[in-house]
């Protein structure tokens, strides 16, 4: 026993040290630098100040934060709403081959270069592109409407990017779901939709929670998508952080914004994991009562 935990220590040590130095420690630095003043040549000044935090009261920020928030929520909701029926369909598909093929087709965009995907949308929504021509032709939009560089384009590409993220964890759980439970429910008189709601959804709830986390959190930090397909009116927090770093060279300000984003990341993370723990505890209690 003693010997094995000794070996364990050495197995885990390199990665532990690495992550503390290059992941945990830098996050601390971000939090600390929010209390430093900037210096004139784009570096970090000396001394401590609350000035940077005060600057966060920039009048344009509330709108940006709100946009980041609701775009994250909407894209998460849409992704889950799409991923659940897909997982349901996939796990009910009897042919193993067909199932693997569809899964492969869903994963490929997930693995395809992120920039290539955004690029594809820029081509697709291009003012000179075939899609735009088609829409104008059938009279859905007037010639003057731009498909690109607005928040709808940002939202569409975000959903496009995160759908595979949502499908994978939900399908992983759904695959193990015992579908005879659905048949039992129907046998007892439940409608298909009732059985879907009351039996299937609770059965895959763990997958849904994972999907919420892996979509919502990265969506809060989206930066490249609004930068490349969005316009000046569809900026998100991520863009602002990048601007402060690369344009204004104000690292403390970027830190303060990042700290804000971090709140948006770790609060849901902790919330969801607490909720899971609570559920598990209740489950165990219920089992114990039996």
Element (H, E) at 37: none
Residue number with CB closer to other proteins (91 or 151): 91
- Shortest separation between residue 287's beta carbon and other proteins, angstroms: 18
- Looking at beta carbons only, is 129 or 286 nearer to other proteins? 129
Give yes or no for residue 100 binding other proteins (CB under 8 A).
Answer: yes
237 closest CA partner among 225, 252, 248, 249:
225
User: How far apart (Å, rounded) are the C-alpha atoms in residues 162 and 74?
Assistant: 12
The interface region with other proteins, picked from 59-67, 103-111, 139-147, 278-286 by CB under 8 A, is 103-111
Per CB under 8 A, 77 contacts other proteins: no
Site for other proteins in 120-179 (CB under 8 A): 120-124, 126, 128-131, 133, 160, 163-164, 179
Question: Where in 192-251 is the site for other proteins (CB under 8 A)?
Answer: 192-193, 213-214, 217-218, 220-224, 228, 238, 241-242, 245, 251
- What is the CA angle 66-68-73, rounded to 5? 95
φ/ψ region of 287 (left if φ > 0, alpha if ψ in -120 to 50, else beta) reads alpha
Q: In the chain, what's the furthest Cα-to-Cα distance? A: 75
Give me the 9-28 binding string for other proteins, x by CB under 8 A, dash otherwise.
x-xx-xxx-xxx-xxxxxx-
**Which is nearer to other proteins, 18 or 286 (by Cβ)?**
18
Residue 41 binds other proteins (CB under 8 A): no
Of the candidates 6, 62, 92, 248, which one interacts with other proteins according to CB under 8 A? 92
* d(C-alpha 175, C-alpha 170), whole Å: 9
Least separation in angstroms between CB 248 and other proteins: 14
Query: Which strand (E) or helix (H) includes residue 203?
Result: helix 201-203
Rounded CA separation 272/147 (Å)? 36
């Amino acid at each position: 026993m003693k010997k094995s935990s000794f070996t364990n220590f050495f197995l885990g040590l390199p990665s532990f040290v690495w992550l503390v130095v290059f992941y945990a420690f830098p996050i601390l630095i971000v939090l600390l630098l929010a209390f430093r003043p900037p210096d004139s040549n784009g570096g970090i000044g000396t001394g401590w100040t609350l000035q940077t935090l005060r600057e966060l009261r920039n009048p344009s920020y509330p709108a940006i934060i709100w946009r980041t928030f609701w775009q994250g929520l909407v894209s998460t909701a849409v992704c889950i709403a799409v991923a659940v029926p897909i997982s349901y369909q996939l796990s009910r598909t009897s042919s193993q081959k067909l199932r693997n093929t569809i899964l492969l087709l869903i994963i490929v965009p997930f693995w395809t270069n992120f920039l290539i995907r955004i690029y594809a949308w820029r081509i697709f929504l291009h003012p000179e592109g075939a899609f735009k021509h088609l829409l104008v032709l059938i009279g859905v939009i007037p010639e003057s409407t731009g498909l690109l560089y607005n928040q709808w384009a940002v939202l569409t590409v975000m959903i496009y990017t995160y759908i595979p993220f949502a499908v994978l964890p939900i399908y992983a759980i759904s695959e193990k779901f015992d579908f005879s439970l659905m048949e039992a429910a129907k046998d007892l008189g439940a409608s298909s939709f009732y059985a879907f709601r009351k039996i299937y959804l609770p059965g895959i709830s763990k997958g849904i929670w994972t999907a919420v986390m892996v979509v919502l959190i990265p969506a809060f930090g989206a930066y490249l998508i609004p930068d490349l397909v969005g316009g000046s009116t569809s900026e998100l927090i991520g863009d602002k952080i990048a601007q402060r770093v690369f344009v204004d060279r104000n690292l403390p300000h970027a830190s303060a914004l990042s700290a804000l984003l971090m709140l948006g990341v770790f609060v849901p993370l902790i919330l969801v994991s607490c909720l899971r723990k609570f559920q598990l505890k209740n489950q165990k209690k219920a089992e114990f009562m039996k």
